[in-house]
Amino acid sequence: MLLFVLTCLLAVFPAISTKSPIFGPQEVSSVEGNSVSIKCYYPPTSVNRHTRKYWCRKGASGRCITLISSEGYVSSNYAGRANLTNFPENGTFVVNVAQLSRDDSGHYKCGLGINSRGLSFDVSLEVSQGPELPNDTEVYTVDVGRTVTIKCPFKTENDPKVKALYKKIGETSVLVIDSRNYVNPNYNGRIGLHIPGTGQLIFTVVIDRLRLSDHGLYLCQAGDGSSRDEKNVDLQVLKPEPELVYADLRGSVTFHCALGLEVANVAKFLCRVSSRETCDVVINTLGKRDSAFEGRILLNPQDQDGSFSVVITGLRKEDEGRYLCGAHSDGRLQEGWPIQAWQLFVNEESTIPHSRTVVKGVAGGSVAVLCPYNPKESKSLKYWCLWEGTKNGRCPLLVESQGLVQEQYEGRLSLLQEPGNGTFTVILNQLTTQDAGFYWCLTNGDTHWRTTVEIKIIEGEPNLKVPGNVTAVLGETLKVPCHFPCKFSSYEKYWCKWSNTGCQTLPSQDEGPSEAFVNCDENSRLVSLTLNPVTRADEGWYWCGVKQGHFYGETAAVYVAVEEKKVAGSRDVSPAKADAAPDEKVLDSGVRQIENKAIQDPRLFAEEKVVADTGDQAGGSRASVDSSSSEEQGGSSRALVSTLVPLGLVLALGAVVVGVARARHRKNVDRVSIRSYRTDISMSDFENSREFGANDNMGACSITQETSLGGKDEFVASPESTTENQEPKKAKRSSKEEAEMAYKDFLLQSSTMATKAQEGHQEA
């Protein structure tokens, strides 16, 4: 029963990884008499930097016996020929062992702390016996793919004779090349024999693109017979020892590849050795790229000396392994071409924090990306670039912390220092489908902290709702609303003004629940930005958004344009203006009638101006008058103020007179408004105008005006006769004339009362 329970627990709870973070070379080989240097990596934490480092040899019982340690211990077997050096700033320590013998072959461990703790890495060391060489043998040690130049001396008597290079295979010698232009097919196209000018007793053989099969003993020969000159050469062609590369999970690594000038113009590549001992291309300069590295690899342009570099970000555990860089016209590994090798180890105990590798947003919406950096480099410059899947890959900068923002991203992209302490934020809004892709977070500091994020555009609507672009009027007040749905009820809401260096938070007003969302409770909010008064400096991009503490969420952008306030032009109300409005024409006609009456009787001028001015204040109409009229109007106004009570009685009397006249003629009455001068005119009077000697339309001004019912009334105003003031003896006075006479009597009485009152005031 207990066994069953334990089995269930093991099935439910995942196994704890015991993978050691210590890393070193898996296999090391050398020959007797030579030396080796073994580098081991460890996480550079403060504890690891100061803890014990050791190199031990595994015995048959499984125990690992210490041979040398960082605390000063050295075994008798290693005395005088080994040392251990710690490099805490790099997180490495190196074990050097010299004067190797075949007894040194075996299985070892490099580690930290106690030998049995498990913080160690297994290393296999193989020491082989060197070849037995003649005493005069010259040794050349060259890496595979490189070039070697073999120098062969000779005596003067053999100067005119044949020179040649042979390779010893067992007991036979195979001709490789001679001075008669023979070349062995195995060396065709990559070997040459050169004889200097007269007087130099030496010839050289140059072999390019060395292969492992070129390894062996060679013989230089000049002449033949017993007088020939010979020299033994041992050519050792070595596979490149892989350089150990230690990187953190989610971090980045850079492979620097220097292959030499001889392949400067040849296609370059980086490949990964598979379990089948083949090397699969990861990326090359011909445009091939492994899909597993899409969006997180770049091949930087090669230099004039043929060197180049490959950067991989967003490292995964499955990226571990052996990598080769090389050059070949086919862009892949070929025998005999120069290569470099690396052994990559990805540390799962990474100091780089977890962050989302995929961020999703909707068209028109926004995304907020968290970018990690080394917390010790808070003052470093931060960058954000867009990975482009061109032939070699490139990543042009879009924004940086010193204020650079590419023009096409102005108003929609910002790099913020928050939340800080090893993380900065990049916000991109107004998303379109073209924004989908891979982006890199960079700094000018620790290159191991480069990370990659993919932005995907999905279907949906933005959560925040704002108006489109807004136009504000200079000097006035502008209020811009932003609607937040219920899901952001617990978030801090803000408005800010965008600039190249960030987004400065501005005061905003919470105006209660928003009505922009359907089926939403009171948790939705409407938050407004108010600019009062609007200035030129207010023009630009504004963002509303949400955040929790120093972590930003969604944003929405509004552009505010500022324009000058439009000043309405003064309207010309002159009667001569052809396009004057109908009501202005009626008004101008009335003014002209009043002026004509003033000409007929100068005593009426002041009274007419007073009434006209009163009408202006009541009706708000505009009319042009000359300067002398304005002065007399001011004098009349002062007289009215000083005689307010008597004038009030006169006005009451005038109202009674006018009321009597209006009561007598209520049939078919049309009202004409001339400033404040009103009178009732019977239309029948116009029909009977000929009875009194009037001429129809003579000097008349006809004005057509729409009524409130949409029809049109036609008003005809005739100037008064200035030659006859006396009533005809036999003709019956019309209602119009009676009304005018009553009005004149009213004005005369008003003028008389005003004059007497003013004289009495002066005497007093």
Percent of the chain residues topping a pLDDT of 90: 51
The region of weakest confidence among 87-101, 545-559, 573-587 is 573-587
Residue range 469-563 in CATH 2.60.40.10: yes
- 243-347: which CATH topology? Immunoglobulin-like (2.60.40)
DSSP-assigned beta bridge partners for residue 555:
545
Question: Which residue from 639, 643, 591 is spatially nearest to 619, judged by alpha carbons?
Answer: 591
Cis amide leading into 44 (omega within 30): no
What pLDDT, on a 0 to 100 scale, did the predictor assign at position 661?
Answer: 57
Q: In the chain, what are the domain boundaries?
A: 27-128, 137-238, 243-347, 358-458, 469-563
What pLDDT, on a 0 to 100 scale, did the predictor assign at position 389?
Answer: 83
What pLDDT, on a 0 to 100 scale, did the predictor assign at position 601?
Answer: 42
Cα–Cα distance, 764 to 753 (Å, whole number): 16
Supply 754's token pair: 């005003």
The DSSP H or E segment spanning 48 is: helix 46-50
469-563: same fold as 358-458? yes
User: What is the CATH number assigned to the segment(s) 27-128?
Assistant: 2.60.40.10
- Inter-axis angle of helices 604-619 and 627-642, to 10 degrees? 90
pLDDT digits 0-9 by tens, 54-69: 999 999 888 999 999 9
Cα–Cα distance, 142 to 365 (Å, whole number): 59
pLDDT digits 0-9 by tens, 398-422: 999 998 999 999 999 999 998 888 9
What pLDDT, on a 0 to 100 scale, did the predictor assign at position 664?
Answer: 55
The Cα diameter of the chain in Å comes to 173
Class of domain 137-238: mainly beta
Cα–Cα distance, 590 to 593 (Å, whole number): 5
Concatenated DSSP letters of 304-370: TTS-EEEEE-S--GGG-EEEEEEE-TTSS--TTS-EEEEEEEEESS-SSPP--SEEEEETT-EEEEE
Cis amide leading into 533 (omega within 30): yes
- The CATH-assigned architecture of domain 358-458 is Sandwich (2.60)
**pLDDT at position 736 over 60:** no
Supply 404's token pair: 């650079």
Residue 659 pLDDT level (bands cut at 50, 70, 90): low
pLDDT digits 0-9 by tens, 181-193: 999 999 999 999 9
Contacts of 262 (CB under 8 A, 6+ apart): 147, 208, 306, 338
pLDDT digits 0-9 by tens, 102-137: 999 999 999 999 988 778 999 999 998 877 777 788
Contact yes or no for 216/167 (Cβ under 8 A): yes
The region of weakest confidence among 9-13, 42-46, 151-155, 345-349 is 9-13
Contact yes or no for 591/675 (Cβ under 8 A): yes
pTM score, whole prediction? 0.65
pLDDT digits 0-9 by tens, 565-582: 876 543 333 333 333 333
Mean pLDDT of all residues in 7-33: 64
Cα–Cα distance, 341 to 321 (Å, whole number): 11
* Average pLDDT of the chain to the nearest whole number: 77
Task: Identify the residue with better confidence: 390 or 554.
Answer: 554
Contacts of 718 (CB under 8 A, 6+ apart): 694, 698, 699, 700
